[in-house]
Chain A
């Protein structure tokens, strides 16, 4: 009998952990818990990191809309319709030629078209409108709770104009409207995703855990829903909202409609993971230990896929935001006085408006695109980081 020995058999070299990042000690990683590992992996993706910061920024803008907006979104000044954006400047030239630091915007010069008598505004660099930080301006109710009138940025003289992003057809400040719209659009995404999170996780978990008839039934429902072209369906449901309902009701119903069709992807993901985890040892152990089915599902299996769910949810968010924007854009979603990015875009529906006042298209559209991109990058980063154990 011959005994085979391999000459080049290497001696044992300790645990097979590969450093996730050069410079981080293996012992660090060996002791880190799962979320720390996820964070290590996630923070290597700079694009996702930047996107996360951008999302956070948008959320904060939405949260403190009243304070950040220079004006009240509904306050219109009919004499300044479709006024172009005013440039923000930092230094003014004194009469003697020296430069002095003074936040300001350039004023307007009015031109009347002799043929149509229509008034148009052009920025006039000669005029200087002084503006300042933390100025008192139009009074508002912070979060609907207490009265305040402090604004981050605004004209120091009441009655002066400061339209950093221009105005719309009724002479309302686009910047303020955009900031208030951020609150609605971001929150619709987040609230909608929470609803579809509950639906998707419960249905996905149940169908993945039990399998059989329940699974087949859920899969059929998902198939029907995901084979429907979404926009016609959203249109159909949104059009049934009675006109007499209050804007707040409409807001909730639109969120519900948007989320009713967003849960399918999540349910699929959760179901697939449940199928994979159902046979794992820790599940068997929990069952043998006398855990109820509910406990096994929610206490043992679900926590182990939280990071995956987080990634799917992040990727589902932009769909919700685009859905709301599309509905409002078509005029059967949110309506005035509620301001969302879609409501703003509705103003820019025809070529004439866009040609005369392109800022009405550029800024809301830019906000939508940046948000959608940021959520996508963030979601991609989270998805890659969701499983920190694979190389």
Chain B
């Protein structure tokens, strides 16, 4: 098992490297750099800047270095000092800005994942056991709709419905009176009251996909001889399903974290922008629009790392569940 874990972590390194290259590329992509925008804003306020001074500043900030050296400086700053660069829009180090936002992104992603599992598991089992029943068709239909409706359209529709029928607006994570309040039971309840809409919005497509997978796997499994044997020897119906076939059908369920998680993080980003949640999404969009690239690049990097860690966890869980993986 330990060998597998080490191997798996080792495999992550090239992927992480590729990820950091993409993030760095995005940082470098917009034309001009910080100095360009600084000089533009200085000229706006009437200060004339000597071109030689500009060159000196570029020298100081290292913008004249070859591109690989800039990358090296950037990545070593992150790895060894936790220094993600400087946010020119907020005039603060990026590291001060991102952690809180990444925390809430992580929290909502995990909550959505739990929602996906909690909903998909019973429905998937039901659909597999009662194939082609009315309930199965209903869930299949809802599932297709869930897959087809993009997150932000779902969020907009829910916003409209809750405005229309409950008369409340559904943005944010807290009611105004709780935003600055210290944590209390009331604040927690208020959080739950606001959290269910984003979680449903983000989790729906993942849930639909999971139900389809579980239904397909479990119904394959249910027709195998050992299940018939179990039934023949008189095991009660629920045990025939839950004891063995479900455990095998659950493997893809766990490994699906690997591809559901990027979707969830992606979904959190856009849903948060629509619903105005204090996660990385709105800040990322703002940073991108104002070309505050270090902030934006750090978010993209960290979101990628988040999904990679999620995939690692899912692979390790799978290895725990399934000895065939650990020993080959």
A331 CA / B267 CA spacing, docked (Å): 17
Which label, helix, strand, loop or mixed, suits the secondary structure of the A interface?
helix
Within 8 Å of chain A (Cβ to Cβ): is B30? yes
Taken residue by residue from 18 to 61, chain B's Cβ proximity to chain A (1 for < 8 Å, 0 otherwise) reads as 11001100100111000000000000000000000000000000
- Give the shortest distance, in Å, between B18 (CB) and chain A (any CB): 4
List of A residues within 8 angstroms of B156 by Cβ: 345, 348-349, 354, 361, 365
**Residue pair A376, B163 in contact (C-beta under 8 Å):** no
Tell me the chain B residues, 247-298 only, with Cβ under 8 Å from chain A. 258-259, 262-263, 265-267, 269-270, 273-274, 280, 284-285, 288-289, 291, 296-297
Tell me how far the C-beta of A66 lies from the nearest C-beta in chain B, rounded to whole angstroms.
27
Residues on A with C-beta less than 8 A from B307 are 227-229
Q: Does A115 contact B (CB under 8 A)?
A: no
Any B CB within 8 A of the CB of A111? no
Is B303 part of the binding interface, using a Cβ–Cβ cutoff of 8 Å?
yes
Would you give the shortest CB distance from B307 to chain A, in whole angstroms?
Answer: 5
Q: Interface stretch among A29-37, A99-107, A169-177, A318-326? A: A318-326
User: In the bound complex, do residue B288 and residue A332 qualify as a contact, i.e. CB atoms below 8 Å apart?
Assistant: yes
Considering the chains assembled together, what is the distance between the CA atoms of A232 and B157 in angstroms?
Answer: 23
Is B169 in the interface zone, CB < 8 Å from A?
yes
Please report the C-alpha to C-alpha distance between residue A351 and residue B267 in the assembled complex, in whole angstroms: 20
Which of B112-120, B123-131, B143-151, B179-187 interfaces with chain A? B143-151
Q: A226 near B: Cβ within 8 Å?
A: yes
Whether A329 is near chain B, meaning CB under 8 Å from some CB there, is: yes
Contact partners of B147 in chain A: CB under 8 A: 372, 376
Q: Is B269 touching A376 in the complex (CB atoms < 8 A)?
A: no
A231 to B284, CA, bound (A): 11
Q: How many A-B residue contacts, CB cutoff 8 Å?
A: 134
Is B300 interfacial (CB-CB < 8 Å)? yes
User: CB-CB < 8 A to B149: which residues of A?
Assistant: 365, 369, 372
Q: Give the CA-CA distance A329 to B156 in the complex, in Å.
A: 11
A358 at interface by CB-CB < 8 Å = yes
> How far apart are the CA atoms of A242 and B289 in the complex, in Å?
11
Q: CB of A247 within 8 A of chain B?
A: no
Report yes or no: A228 in contact with B26, Cβ–Cβ below 8 A: no
Decide if B174 is an interface residue (CB 8 Å cutoff): no
Q: Which residues of A contact B164 (CB under 8 A)?
A: 355
- With contacts A226-B262, A230-B262, A369-B148 taken as known, whether A236 is within 8 angstroms of B15 at the C-beta atoms is no
Does residue B159 face the partner (Cβ distance < 8 Å to A)?
Answer: yes
Choose from B29, B148, B160, B296 the contact partner of A318 (Cβ within 8 Å): B148
Q: Complex formed: what's the CA distance from A224 to B288 in Å? A: 22
Q: Does A92 contact B (CB under 8 A)?
A: no
Chain A 193-226: CB-based contact to B (< 8 A → 1; otherwise 0): 0000000000000000000000000001101101
Tell whether A229 pairs with B284 under 8 Å between CB atoms, given A318-B148, A369-B153: no
Write the A221-251 contact mask toward B (1 if CB under 8 angstroms, else 0).
Answer: 1011011111111011101101000000000
Known: A228-B19, A231-B270. A322 touches B288 (CB 8 A): no
A111 to B258, CA, bound (A): 56
Q: Is A178 an interface residue (CB 8 A)?
A: no
Docked Cα-Cα span, A345 to B154, in Å, equals 12
User: What are 9 sample pairs from A and B whose C-beta atoms fall under 8 A apart?
Assistant: A226-B262, A229-B263, A231-B270, A236-B29, A236-B300, A322-B150, A325-B150, A369-B148, A373-B145
